[in-house]
Amino acid sequence: MSNGTKVKVISDRLNEEKWTRATLNNYTINDLKELDHDIDDVIKSGDEVEAKELCDEHLQHTKNSIVGLYVSGIIAISKQQVDDSNIVTLINIFSDNHKWNIVEFLCERILQFGENKFALRTLAQCYENENEDEKKYEVWERLIRVDYEEADIVRQLAEKKEEDGELEAAVDYYKKAIHRFIGKKLFAGVKEIYHKLIAYCPEETDFFFHVDSKIAKTISPDRASQLLEDLYAYYKKQSQWDRGIEILKRILDYDPKNQWARKEITDCYREKHAGHSQLDEYIRLSNLNQSWRNVHEAIEDFEKHISFDEGNFVCHRSWGVGIISHIKGDEITIDFARKRGHTMSLKMAVSALMSLARDHIWVLRTVWSKKKLHDKVKEDPKWALQTVIRSHNNAANMKIIKSEISPGILTQSEWSTWSTEARKILKTDPDFGNHPNKLDHYVVRENPISYEEKTFNRFTAEKDFFGRLGTIQEFLANADPESEFFGEMFDYFVSFLRSYTVVTEVVASSYLLVRKVVRNYPFLNPGIDIPFGDLFEQIEDLESVFSGIGDSELQRDFLEELRKIEEWPELYVRLFTYYLSHYIIDQLEEHGREEELGELVTVIIDNYREYREAFVWMARNLDAEWLARFGVEYEKVLIGMIHLLDISFREIENRRDVSDNRRLNRQIQSFLFKDGKLSAYVESADEESINRIYTLVEDVKDLDPSIAIEMRHRITDRFPDFKFYGGRPAAESVSMGLIVTASSYEKRQKELQHILDVEVPQNSKEIGAALEMGDLRENAEYKAAKEKQELLNTTVARLKEEIERAQIFDEKDVDPSRISFGTKVTLYNKETGAQEEYSILGPWESNPSENIISYLSPFGSALWNHEKGEEIEFVINDRRYAYTVNEIQPVSFSEITV
């Protein structure tokens, strides 16, 4: 059967339906299954678009055509299109006529393509009509995993679990339901469930506090206070005064003028501190029960005063930790370790002292032996973390933790091992969480926290868009997207697609993320169907948007979407410098776009200074034969790389974009020397080409001299009479390797030892300290320390290699019969008529301002080996030199300063 015939089958069925005037009662499940066979044939032949258009046109004048609705609807769902209106219409037609068996079939058919809210909801209705409750509950459980807004069904599932005695599952469902009722702003539903949860899990205060925060933000602070009052009643009845005080403080945060809460918190303080000798006095002094005083100031004042009682610990910034030994009237006596029996007024104590809990880390450092605390911290890092974090008002980052642990308790080397385990505990242990407002700070949880909730808390604390993007991608990699927490995170990105006017990198990234999520989890489709072409038309600055997408995977997704645009090859060329990989090259090559490839290569190669990163990438990743296709000579690539090497050295020296230039410098050196590209070129190129390349290498001021020496060896091995500047054979000048004086050799060794013994350990400490400050993306100290580390590593490697190659010159071996190492030469300048003196030494001793010249420099090489009386003429960098050698004598090595 031909393809056209397969579409004709659908056409015949539409006509048959119209001619026979088939009624609803004529349709059976078998009829729909036969249509499925026809749909499969159309899809296999690739004619599904034509078939759907045929049905859609038919539906314009026969809107209730069963065949048209079914074929169009199934094809749309199979293509994961957002518009499922035709299949929904069909289900409603059969539902209205109580054809529940066909409705059930249609729902199951839709669900074969993935979870679908409408299909699940309708299927559950079918089972309810057929009194199949177990099947209905199973479908409901599937439905609430894909419909984050459904609240009533979640509550009914909770009630079912409650009836069945499955209280743990019931509590989980009630928690889901309360979040959904909050989202729908249905306070009556929230309140009913809140009371149930107080009965079942009152100790989960973290959960209740999270709920009241959401209610205050979503509904109103008054409603949040109302619920907290009910929670407080439970703890008051249990005489749990600390928890009651905590709840009342939250109520007063929402409403500072709440007189009921103020009276209750005063009563709680009276109960908690019933045995305190100064209780009534401190309530009076703080004006806690006086409505005219700001309640938060009164509470702070009272809590500071009440902490001053006999036997309590305090801390003074100069005298350290002490214990209150006596209180009489307005006078307090404190025993400090170094100042026992010190007295001060209560007013002075309140302002000068900080009260400490008995388990505060500072107290433990004072009352425990050093060995006991050291062993406890080392053996039980979780206890140590909890102690330190609680000592800092239950919020501490790694910098704070380190300041308390090392070097006061653990040595630096012990800290290195201990901190690795500590970080692992903070990240994975459910008893720790992230502070909601300080991303790098940790808190001790009253109740264990799940990975999903911990990640969600990081998401909400993170303020940077791409930080949140990374967090949700981490969540997708490690947790179930059906989680309630994922829904809230996902909605954050969906919101950008509902409200944008201009496409920025944020909108584009949100679009790509949502597309990816929906592709993998179709049931999460938020109902936004924006064709990429429409999005693309609203991009004002393509390069800016693309480069701003802070995720390489999403950039790749963007490029794949871009293929839908007709002029995509030209766009790929424009974006190549922002996405250096084989992908763009391969796609252009795969689609035979030689013209665009040629344009791309030519622009990068000809403008290598402007497109440094792209040029270096091409040199390293595209071989000479491939580049030759577009008329690029390999010598041109090498010349560009050597020029960029010199530029990067100079910009590093000038402290310009140091990190980027160091990275580029390493890549170029690796390409030219480590990978042997330059050596291979010397082995194959002609003498004139080699001379051009060698001249450029010699001009790179900061390049390791040993590289030029090795290159000379290779050149003279192949061309023994090769002329280096002055026209003399180079073999003699390089035969001894890197020639150095004894004093400069000793200086280099000391320099290396100082870096290894002093600067490297100091830099390690700087990096460690910077790491404790958290959030490396905006940590200037960390970046500076890492840059210094790169510089130190480069310097160490260079010094080691130079020292290994160095050969110490014996002063007795100076040969004054010719210009050589250790000689002082007097030249007559034939251009100016002046006498000029130069000392010929090595690169370590070179000091042009003192006329001390390296034998490896272009000028030194030109003079090398000439004898007294000889005439010398040479050109360096287009400048002509003409000399007569008047005198050669040994250098006075004792006068050389290195």
Is 732's pLDDT higher than 50?
Answer: no
Chain centroid to Cα 633, Å, comes to: 40
Question: Smallest Cα–Cα separation from 134: which of 115, 160, 102?
Answer: 160
pLDDT for the residue numbered 21 = 67
C-alpha–C-alpha distance, residues 208 and 515, integer Å: 35
- 407: cis peptide before it, omega within 30°? yes
pLDDT of residue 737: 53
Whether 724 shows a pLDDT value over 60: the answer reads yes
* Alpha-carbon dihedral sign for residues 272, 274, 275, 280: positive
Q: Pick 221 or 148 by higher pLDDT.
A: 221
Question: Mean per-residue pLDDT for 112-131?
Answer: 90
Distance CA 206, CA 696 (A): 68
DSSP assignment of 364-400 equals HHHHS-HHHHHHHHHH-HHHHHHHHHHHTTT-B-HHH
Who has greater pLDDT, 23 or 565?
565
Instruction: Specify the pLDDT at position 875.
Output: 83
pTM of the entire structure? Answer: 0.60
Asked if 71 and 55 count as a contact pair (C-beta separation under 8 A), the reply is: yes
Is the pLDDT at 731 greater than 60, yes or no?
no
Please say whether the beta carbons of 185 and 218 come within 8 A.
Answer: yes
Structure tokens at 779: 């940590």
Give the model's confidence band at 155: pLDDT under 50 very low, under 70 low, under 90 confident, else very high. Answer: very high
3-state secondary structure 272-303: HCCCCCCHHHHHHHHCCCCCCCCHHHHHHHHH
Residue-level pLDDT at 698: 82
Give percent above pLDDT 70 in the chain: 96
3-state helix, strand, coil in the chain (%, to 5): 65, 10, 25
**CA-to-CA distance for 264 and 269, rounded, in angstroms?**
9
- Give the confidence band of 2 by pLDDT, cuts at 50, 70, 90: very low
Give the CA dihedral 567, 569, 575, 576, nearest 10 degrees: 180
Distance of CA 297 to CAs 91, 157, 221, 292, Å?
64, 46, 21, 11
Name which of 2-11, 564-573, 741-750, 877-886 the model is least confident about. Answer: 2-11
Task: Provide the pLDDT for residue 778.
Answer: 52
**Which pLDDT band, with edges at 50, 70 and 90, does 525 fall under?**
confident
What confidence category does residue 728 fall into, taking pLDDT thresholds of 50, 70 and 90? very low
Would you tell me how many other CB atoms lie within 10 Å of the CB of residue 582? 11
What pLDDT score was predicted for residue 775? 52
Query: Which of 573, 555, 497, 561 minimizes the C-alpha distance to 529?
Result: 497
Flag the least confident range among 368-372, 545-549, 682-686, 700-704. 700-704
Q: Of 6-10, 702-706, 745-749, give the lowest mean pLDDT range.
A: 702-706
pLDDT at 3 over 70: no
Q: Tally the C-alpha atoms within 13 A of residue 101's C-alpha that lie toward its C-beta.
A: 6
Q: Supply 529's token pair.
A: 């169907």
Q: What is the pLDDT of residues 537-553, one digit of tens each?
A: 999 999 999 999 988 99
Q: Which of 865, 751, 724, 748 is nearest to 808 (CA)?
A: 748
Q: Give the tens place of pLDDT for each residue, 48-62.
A: 999 999 999 999 988
Each residue's pLDDT tens digit, 157-207: 999 999 999 999 999 999 999 999 998 999 999 999 999 999 999 998 888
Q: Is the pLDDT of residue 120 over 80?
A: yes
Q: What is the mean pLDDT of residues 344-372?
A: 89
What's the confidence (pLDDT) of residue 636?
94
Whole-number pLDDT of residue 459 = 87
Residue 82 backbone dihedrals phi, psi, to 5 degrees? -65, -35
Q: CA end-to-end span of the chain, whole Å?
A: 92
What percent of the chain has a predicted confidence (pLDDT) above 90? 56
Q: In whole angstroms, what is the distance from residue 459 CA to residue 467 CA?
A: 8
Cα dihedral 260/261/267/273 (nearest 10): -170
When pLDDT is cut at 50, 70 and 90, the band that residue 128 belongs to is very high
Q: Tell me: the pLDDT tens digits for 366-412?
A: 899 999 999 999 999 999 999 999 999 899 999 999 999 988 899 98
Query: pLDDT tens-digit profile of 473-487?
Result: 989 988 878 777 888
**Which positions ≥6 away from 167 have C-beta within 8 Å?**
161, 200
Other Cβ atoms closer than 10 A to 453: 19
164/141 Cα distance (integer angstroms): 16
CA separation for the pair 738, 324 (Å, rounded): 73
Q: CA 88, CA 122: separation in Å to the nearest integer?
A: 10
